[in-house]
């Protein structure tokens, strides 16, 4: 069991505040570039993992399938993403970024670097590593609990 700290009662609030500030700032910057933060996330995920299906992208981003479909529709209309048929299953579309997305992806990378530098200013590298490790563990803990709760609901509904 970790030692108690004075932040025990405030940790959830601080995490929530940091995430909200980061999302708000990212939304503002993305809008200045004529896009949404969600569109930036979709593009970034597809650049890292091309050929995802919409279903896989939905699971990866933890966004509903209909929301992902609408975001992909908009990105496709802008010429930044293309849907390609899956040779193994004609019902599935594989998603890829297009060459037209390269300037947008460069902007996203520049912004991410700027955001990282701004957020970690004055924080020692070992503290950042420990924080990242702790947050990853928290994410895993919450994800495991969500899966357990979802499985319990499925058993009750069956």
> Would you state the structure tokens that stand for residue 110, as one six-digit string?
């520049």
Q: What is the DSSP string of 103-137?
A: HHHHHHHHHHHHHHHHHHTT--HHHHHHHHHHHHH
| Cβ partners under 8 Å of residue 74, min gap 6 | 39
Global pTM value: 0.79
- Whether residue 79 contacts residue 46, with contact meaning beta carbons closer than 8 Å, is answered with no
> For the domain bounded by 11-121, which CATH number is listed?
1.10.10.10
> Would you state the structure tokens that stand for residue 21, as one six-digit string?
């500030």
| pLDDT, tens only, 76-95 | 999 999 999 998 998 899 99
CA 37 distance to own-chain centroid: 9
Sheet strands side by side (includes 89-97):
52-53, 89-97, 81-86
| pLDDT, tens only, 93-123 | 999 999 999 999 999 999 999 999 999 999 9
Domain boundaries, given as residue ranges, for the chain: 11-121, 125-158
| pLDDT, tens only, 4-54 | 666 556 888 889 999 999 999 999 999 998 999 999 999 999 999 999 999
């Amino acid at each position: 069991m970790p030692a108690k700290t004075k932040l025990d009662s405030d940790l959830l609030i601080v995490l929530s505040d940091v995430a909200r500030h980061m999302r708000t700032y990212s939304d503002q910057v993305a809008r200045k570039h004529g896009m949404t933060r969600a569109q930036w996330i979709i593009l970034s995920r597809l650049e890292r993992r091309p050929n995802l299906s919409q279903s896989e992208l939905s699971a990866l981003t933890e966004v509903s399938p209909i929301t992902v479909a609408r975001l992909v529709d908009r990105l496709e209309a802008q010429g930044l993403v293309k849907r390609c048929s899956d040779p193994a299953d004609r019902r599935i579309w594989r998603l890829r970024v297009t060459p037209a997305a390269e300037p947008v992806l460069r902007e996203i990378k520049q912004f991410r670097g700027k955001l990282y530098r701004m957020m970690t200013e004055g924080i020692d590298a070992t503290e950042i590593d420990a924080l990242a490790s702790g947050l990853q563990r928290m994410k895993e803990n919450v994800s495991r609990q969500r899966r357990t709760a979802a499985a319990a609901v499925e058993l009750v509904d069956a």
